[in-house]
Structure 1
Amino acid sequence: MSQIRKARRIPDLPRILVQVSTPAFPINDVIPAIRDALATQSRLVLEAPPGAGKTTQVPLALLDEAWLGGKKILMLEPRRVAARAAAGFMSKQLGEAVGETVGYRIRFENKVSKATRIEVVTEGILTRLLQDDPLLEGIGAILFDEFHERHLAGDLGLALALDVQASVRDDLRIVAMSATLDGERLANWLDASRITSGGRSFPVDIAHFPARRDEALAPLVKRAVEHALMLHPGDILVFLPGIREIRQVEASLEGVATASSIEVLTLHGDLPVEAQTRVLQPASDGQRRVVLATNVAESSVTLPGVRVVIDAGLAREPQFDPNSGFSRLDAVHISQASADQRAGRAGRLGQGWAYRLWPESQRLAPQRRAEIAQVELAGLALEIAAWGSDDLRFPDALPPGALAAARDLLCRLDALDSNNAITPLGRRMLSLGTHPRLSAMLLAARDDAECALACDLAALVEARDPLRTRSDALAERWQALAAFRQGRAPADANRSTLAAIDAAAKQWRRRLRVEVMPPAHVPAHMLGDLLAHAYPDRIAYRHANDRHRYQLSNGRMAKLFDDSALIGEPWLVASELRFDTRDALIMRAAPVDEQHLRDDFATHFREGDEVRWDAERRALVGERIARFDGIVLSSKPAGKVDPALANRALADAVRSLGLGALPWSEATSQWRIRVQCLRAWMPELVLPDLSDEVLLDTLDDWLAPAFAGKTRLDALSADELAEALKSGIDWATRNRIDQLAPTRIDVPSGLARNIDYRLDDRGDAAPPVLAVKLQELFGLAETPRICDGRVPLMLHLLSPARRPLQVTQDLRSFWERTYPEVKKEMKGRYPKHPWPDDPWNAMATHRAKPRGT
């Protein structure tokens, strides 16, 4: 358990002291409890701080359990570095080589054998294993390590595993393990036991290292490293957001390394295995080391010798970028839980020191946000479709808007059919293990040469811009890549970025088993012809009257820069857009050959009669229209409007003009409000929502049928509107509505008076109003009620001239306290009307007093 106490001060460095450490493998203290829990239950949540040993000790401790029955244990690790390290450490404990009892499987690499009983896998591998073998034959347990990181693939893996467990494998054990997790919430959600272990740590002295004004990250880190080298022993671990920052800091430390005789090492997911292994081993000669790492060093791996942590407080995490259509890695502030976990890395061997490179006043979010709430979901939606069931349980609900957008995209990519079922093409796309947009493009290539070019495009659209000058032509970037391969990169290109793109393209070619190199020269439209398969929603056609404006196939408009290199192209496909309220700005695009579109997207071209509402003429217009998806290629008048097409167009007119364009009678308006009020007062009735928003969203269901045979908006009568509005409610329910929320109510005068139903400004039910002359309520003690007595009426008590005297829902109190004052004031003003001293027993009347009384 962490302890915080006041710390010794170093000048100009405000600090606190955090205890974050324990003896070797404290997880051993709770191993018996873990075994007991899993012997009788199928799910477990294990909380253990960094250094407790959960990653390497729990799988080994479960190998001989009776319930496992000789089956395998799968352990999910979010990162490849951690997967290799965990498998290596466990194998070393067993005195074996990796791939014997303990092995690992990651993308492009696996070390397993028939003897392997513990398999450490990364997230994408787990999903493929589950999809390929839903019965999980030979698997007895799945351990989700570092579950607090809440990666999308981890959440999906857990959802699939739970579905398998619930349907066919009730003997399967599922364990969620984490260092910084809301374990109680997760355990309740899983209906699982919860076990908490102590950690291993020594006190860690935390300070916020002050930055200078406008100081960049690299020089700030350099100063912090120099400060730590002077004051503290041991190795230094520096947390940086990504490879780019690691390279910048590595270059800035060259002089420091030489002067101080230190070794500067890097640690990130793209390092070769040998380089990763070297970082994870102690220095053989005792030389001090500075390790520059991404958040791969935050959990699951232990760096020997570290006594100081310098934390930039940033990490690259996936965020959905609507401009590109992908989830990109953006530098974001880490959570407080991550900051504490990083600091704890300094306290493994003895007292440690952690320097935070952000102001002490800056507040961090308590926990990391789940990726499911902030990334694009096309890949997840395709996995769900392949699984064949929407009834999957996720720790956080799937955002309905993002999921609907993902499925719409997959339908455009022909990965899903109209029922959101996966297509044969969708299954082939899923097998590539990448974003569906890129999969669709890679599978669209006709031969190896085109496939090699598609690999280049996949690398280009995912990478940072390799050009330093502004240009919206994707072809210029590909030409720079082709020139780089020939040793003559353009002067305005970033060579290191081109090298990274070239390396990524090679990985794509290796994955697809393409042995030919991309061509050195291609027509610009060939790039667009391939890219159109990744972005069918962003194929664009030039506006007839403005060569800078284009209509996109998704129906939106977009425009080019004034000095665009693409001006004049009739067809484009945009790989990057900057969205705006009116026209999106085309940031990156390539021309497309129309004949290629007609060959590859033949079903997207169509021609037919359409009827639309012309807002300016306030009339229906019939046209013969040629389209490519949402793009209008040509239109001409079609003559007389076809009534068969008119009803939906009239509904569209109402959608454009608003519900106020309909012939609402007072009775229909009141009926609609009565239904809305009853939904609030008696939810057990299960009445439809008749709010403006819902009615506009469902016009095609309830209103369009009423326009059948009509070609004008004003042809709809008030009675027809009323019946259309009530069409979804049966007669018995309509009668019940009239009983519970009547339009009129009898008052003591013998007359029936109208009840006025109202909604407040937020659309919520307001008290219904009964406006009635005060004299008509003589003799009535209690406020009248409706809705089986649940709702009192709001009485507007009127003078004989029908002006308000009092507004109340408590008639008894009015007679007792207020009426005497009203009588005193009104009796002289309206002498011909009764003002009895005893209203409780007076005769109610709507008339004046008879003459002579």
Structure 2
Amino acid sequence: MPSPEFPISPLLPDIRRILAAHPRLVLEAPPGAGKTTQVPLALLDETWLEGRKILMLEPRRVAARAAAGFMAKQLGEAVGDTVGYRIRFENKVSTRTRIEVVTEGILTRMIQDDPLLEGVGAILFDEFHERHLSADLGLALALDVQAGLREDLRIVVMSATLDGEKLARFLDAPRLSSEGRAYPVEIAHFPARRDEALEPQARRAIEHALASHPGDLLVFLPGQREIARVQAALVDSTAMRDVDILALHGELPVEQQARVLQPDPAGRRRVVLATNVAESSVTLPGVRVVIDSGLAREPRYDPNSGFSRLDVASVSQASADQRAGRAGRVAEGWAYRLWPQSQRLEPQRRAEMAQVELASLALELAAWGSDALRFVDAPPAGALAAARDLLHRLGALDDAHAITPLGKRMLALGTHPRLAAMLLSARDDEDRALACDLAALVEARDPLRSRSDALAERWRALAAFRTGRIGPDASRSGLAAIDAQAKQWRRRLHVDVAPPASVDAHRLGDLLLHAFPDRIAFQHRNDPRRYQLANGRMARLFDDSAVYGEPWLVASELRFEAKDALVLRAAPLDEAALRRDFPQRFVTENTVRWDAERRALSAQRETRFDGIVLESKPAGKVDPALAAKALTEAVAALGLDALPWTDSLRQWRERVRCLREWMPELGLPDLSDAALLATLPQWLQPAFAGKTRLDALDEGELAEALKSGVDWSLRQKLDTLAPVRIDVPSGMERKIEYSTDHDGHAQPPVLAVKLQELFGLAETPRIADGRVPLLLHLLSPGGKPLQVTRDLRGFWERTYPEVKKEMKGRYPRHPWPDDPWSATATHRAKPRGT
């Protein structure tokens, strides 16, 4: 069939021309411009492609299917011929396929499995502005492949709302922009009534729009739950006669998705209730009105559960504008926003990298064998370190952060490493089926309305649901969703055995401990409601806890609080299972710890499971090596001020910090608080050798320890380039004060000196090889500040006459010459009688 004209069409020759000469391109085009379907087709016969495939990354399954279907239709073919798609649990590709539309996780697996990407000539990242973690990782991996293995690989990043100039600079790539095709859209805010929930407000807005405007309606709602509620509310509305109400979200069967993407065959008006899957990549014909809740379900790290979960959040201003633009595709349109006009939205969507848990990313990086990848936004260091610590506990990484054989098996499952570790720990098919139930339970919303903290009650409700029984506090739809998810897990693991109908008290916990090894908990000997966790923290139970009295627990959900975490969901476990599955984590050894109350070291012989102390006895004599380590850890806890600093040592440190900024070519070490605390074992611990008390470290030993990171030649340069004192014209030496601000930036070095001591000096003294002028605090004969300046010449010329006039009567015994340039500098008063 002939290709229709799209707004992107005039740019296609430029796209081909640039990619013939350059390996990367940034393409900006608004929704509806045609970039998703026209750019891959335009590149298909390029000579540099040499008959290889084009991979196009789509963030959503709906969009992947729709894009592949539209391109195949343009070619007059079926999906799976020249154009196909590959998504989770489904693919339509063949040996003839040249354009593969894939979802984000699929691309990561393809690159990990074949870093050379043989048979692939180009990767297109569509809708990159959505900034999903897997898209950022996919781009970083593709750039690494291009830089090291495949210089001929083309990478095109396509976006509707991202800062294209910034992205082009990051990629060192040309940038093209398409204007798109849009008609005017009138935007209004549709106010909620007092205490009105979203669903009735959306219903009123839909009824108003149907009565006031022509065309179909597209309603943006956060998720399936809200779609179902609005759909139920509209069924009884008289305004819905002869109106087709349709849902659109990522979990719909293919047939229903296809129906939404086509006009109504009977010509009826349509109301499409959609998640943000309709924000981009898919085109809905006939839409003239958009009703926008301003909300979306986006992943956020939930420290209670240890997973990233979908939370309802306000969309960005860029997303709101993109949604409104959907009303102006075919003619002028209208957009109603269901939030107050006074509400301000964030300008752009935040990258998932900055707000989700990073265990999956850390495992992918370990499998790649390098974390020196170029990310548009680098993973936060703290979150990445926490992720690696978890992976080490799960057995996915070794002590060198390299992936283990178990880690490779976990990665192949394509799910969160916690769940993968649990699923792989099961010893037989019945345990695997039970692990599938637990994976579905811990990921799902709570199916019970009760406040109970027993995970077993949730599993028993699920088992009862399977026999047709629903408890009074259980949600039928919630249990049905969990059951469906558990079945999907069993299919993925090829488990043909049904889950057991009942289990003993510890069986759930014995499986769950493999997902939450950091949350294994042991009851406190003196307070049965308190538990010590394997990660070293403490936790407590509800007053009416259903798991009260259990010696061992594993907590699948915790609420982290200032003192003790609160156990929200837990299961008991058998210590024998711990000893069987984690024998290496049970250790008996001598330890030395800092006792903060006694401000002294305590030597104990301890039996521990990870951070849980099971038994402790006095060990007698303190081991010197352990003592040095414990004293260093005490400083880490107490802070650097616990050390015996002198004023001269503090000034030495500030001199190094300032000179490091003024003369970076010297390569001086970072002596900021953060850097010193992070490297305490390297520079401070050797100084504690043979010591058993914190106050046994004297000032000289601390000075030598701190200076150990600066070699002798640099120390000598420090004294020359950032001297402690400086000669002034009076013949005296005066002290220079160095300092840094709260952010660690060097402040101007200060020389406080009496004005009379600088007579005859025209220029401000400088240090750091002449780069840095001193900040002069010019003092009166009585030591009071007269002027602060870095321009001594300007002071003599403009300010000194006024100072002389005011000070001469107050200090008559001190010289106040008319010509300070030629006067003799002095630190003394004039002799009596002169």
- TM-score bin (small chain): over 0.9
Name the structure 2 match of 1:416: 397
State which of 604, 608, 628 in structure 1 corresponds to 2:609.
628
Match of 1:534 in 2: 515
Match of 1:669 in 2: 650
8 Å contact 1:24–1:200 — kept in the other structure? Answer: no
- Unaligned regions of 5+ residues in structure 1, if any? 1-22
TM-score (structure 2 length as normaliser): 0.94
Match for residue 705 of structure 2 among 724, 729, 734: 724
Counterpart check, 1:232 vs 2:217: no
| Partner SS, residue 265 of structure 1 | strand
Indicate if the aligned counterparts of 2:26 and 2:174 stay in contact, CA closer than 8 A. yes
Under a length normalisation based on structure 1, what TM-score does the superposition of the two structures give? Answer: 0.92
- Describe how 1:748-827 pairs up with structure 2 within 5 A: 748-759=729-740, 764-772=745-753, 776-795=757-776, 809-812=790-793
- 1:386 and 2:367 matched: yes
Among 159, 169, 192, the alignment partner of 1:188 is 169
List per-residue Cα deviations over 1:634-667 (Å, max 9, x = no partner): 2111111111211111222323343333333343
**Aligned residue runs from structure 1 range 425-824, under 5 A:** 425-759=406-740, 764-772=745-753, 776-795=757-776, 809-812=790-793
Give the secondary-structure state (helix, strand or coil) at the position aligned to 1:533.
coil
- The equivalent of 1:98 in structure 2 is 79
Q: What is the aligned counterpart of 1:296 among 277, 281, 285?
A: 277
- Equivalent in the alignment of 1:168: 149
Cα 1:205–1:642 shift into 2, 3 Å: same
Distance 1:94 1:817, change over 3 A: closer
Higher mean C-alpha displacement, 160-169 vs 240-249: 160-169
Partners of 2:747 and 2:99 in 1: how far apart?
Answer: 64
- Identity of aligned pairs, percent? 76
CA distance in 2, matches of 1:529, 1:264: 47
State the partner residue of 2:233: 252
> 1:20 matched to which residue of 2?
none
1:743 deviates by: 2.4
2:258 to 245, 270, 277: 277
CA contact (8 A) 1:257 1:263 kept: no
Superposition pairs of residues 302-321 of structure 1, within 5 angstroms: 302-321=283-302
Moved more, 694-703 or 236-245: 694-703
Q: What are the superposed Cα offsets for residues 8-32 of structure 1, whole Å, 9 maximum, x if unpaired?
A: xxxxxxxxxxxxxxx8523222222
- Equivalent of residue 131 in structure 1, options 108, 112, 122: 112
Deviation at 1:80, TM superposition (A): 1.1
Tell me if structure 1 keeps the 8 A contact 2:210–2:239.
Answer: no
Tell me, yes or no, if the aligned pair for 1:205 and 1:354 is still in contact at 8 Å.
Answer: yes
Q: Judge conservation of contact 1:541–1:550 (CA < 8 Å) in 2.
A: yes
Q: CA contact under 8 A between 1:77 and 1:120: conserved in structure 2?
A: yes
My pick for the range that moved more, 163-172 or 258-267, is 258-267
- In the alignment of these two chains, the number of paired residues is 832
1:66/1:752 CA distance change after superposition, 3 Å? closer
Give the residue type in structure 2 aligned to 1:683. Answer: P
CA distance 1:117–1:775, change in 2 (3 Å): closer
Tell whether the 8 Å contact from 1:306 to 1:346 is kept in structure 2 after alignment. Answer: yes
1:89 aligns with 2:70: yes
Report the equivalent of 1:145. Answer: 126
Tell me whether 770-779 or 251-260 shows the greater mean CA deviation: 770-779
**Equivalent residues of 2:234, 2:240 under 8 A apart:** no
Q: Within 1, Cα distance between the matches of 2:159 and 2:328?
A: 19
Distance between the aligned counterparts of 1:722 and 1:733, measured in 2?
A: 16
Q: How much has 1:132 moved relative to structure 2?
A: 0.9
Q: How far apart are 1:778 and its partner, in Å? A: 4.7
Indicate conservation of the 8 Å contact 2:298/2:313, yes or no: yes
CA distance in 2, matches of 1:783, 1:45: 51
User: What is the rounded CA distance, in whole Å, between the counterparts of 1:687 and 1:487 in structure 2?
Assistant: 72
Amino acid aligned to 1:99: G
Distance 1:255 1:766, change over 3 A: closer
Instruction: Give the one of 183, 189, 198 matched to 1:208.
Output: 189
Q: One-letter code of the match for 2:483?
A: D
Change beyond 3 A, Cα 1:418–1:101: same
CA–CA separation in structure 2 for the residues paired with 1:597 and 1:142: 46
> Residues of 1 paired with 2:115 and 2:152: CA distance?
14
Work out whether residues 291 and 335 of structure 2, in 8 Å CA contact, stay in contact via their aligned partners in 1: yes
Unaligned residue ranges in structure 2 (runs of 5+): none
Shift of 1:280: 2.2
Preserved CA contact (<8 Å) 1:783 1:811: yes
- The letter for the 1-side match of 2:547 is L
2 CA distance for matches of 1:306 and 1:813?
71
Q: Report the CA distance between 1:438 and its aligned residue.
A: 0.7
Q: Distance in 1 between matches of 2:707 and 2:833?
A: 53
CA distance in 1 between partners of 2:755 and 2:26 (Å)? 68
1:680-738 C-alpha deviation (Å, 9 max, x unpaired): 33333232222333323322111110111222223223222111111011111000011
Matched, 1:241 2:240: no
Given the alignment of the two structures, is residue 118 of structure 1 paired with residue 99 of structure 2, yes or no?
yes
SS in 1 for 2:584: helix
- Which residue identity does 1:102 align to in structure 2? V
Q: How does 1:255-404 map to 2 (within 5 A)?
A: 255-256=236-237, 260-404=241-385
Partner deviation per Cα, 1:404-425 (whole Å, 9 max, x = no partner) = 2211211111111122111111
Deviation at 1:532, TM superposition (A): 1.0
Q: Is the 8 A contact 2:207 2:239 kept in 1?
A: no
Alpha-carbon distance in structure 1 between the residues aligned to 2:291 and 2:798: 74
Of residues 172-181 and 636-645 in structure 1, the stretch that sits farther from structure 2 once superposed is 172-181
Q: Which amino acid letter does the alignment assign opposite residue 342 of structure 1?
A: R
Q: Distance in 2 between matches of 1:705 and 1:513?
A: 55
**Cα 1:828/1:256, change in 2 over 3 Å:** closer
Q: CA deviation at 1:290?
A: 2.0
* Superposition deviation, residue 617 in structure 1: 1.9
Q: What is the rounded CA distance, in whole Å, between the counterparts of 2:803 and 2:607 in structure 1?
A: 74
CA shift in 2, pair 1:820/1:233, >3 Å: closer
Q: Deviations over 1:535-562 (max 9, x none)?
A: 1111111112111111111111111111
Contact 1:257–1:264 under 8 Å retained in 2: no
| Structure 1 letter corresponding to 2:673 | D
Is 1:37 matched up with 2:18?
A: yes
Give SS of 1:45's match: strand
| Cα drift, residue 825 of structure 1 | 7.6
CA RMSD of aligned residues (A): 2.6
Matched AA of 2:404: T
1:818 and 1:160 map into 2 onto residues whose CA distance is 63
Q: Measure the CA separation in 1 of the matches of 2:764 and 2:191.
A: 70
Structure 1 letter corresponding to 2:420: S
Q: 1:380-436: per-residue Cα shift (whole Å, max 9, x none)?
A: 111111111222222222222221221121111111112211111111011011111
Residue type of the alignment partner of 2:233: S
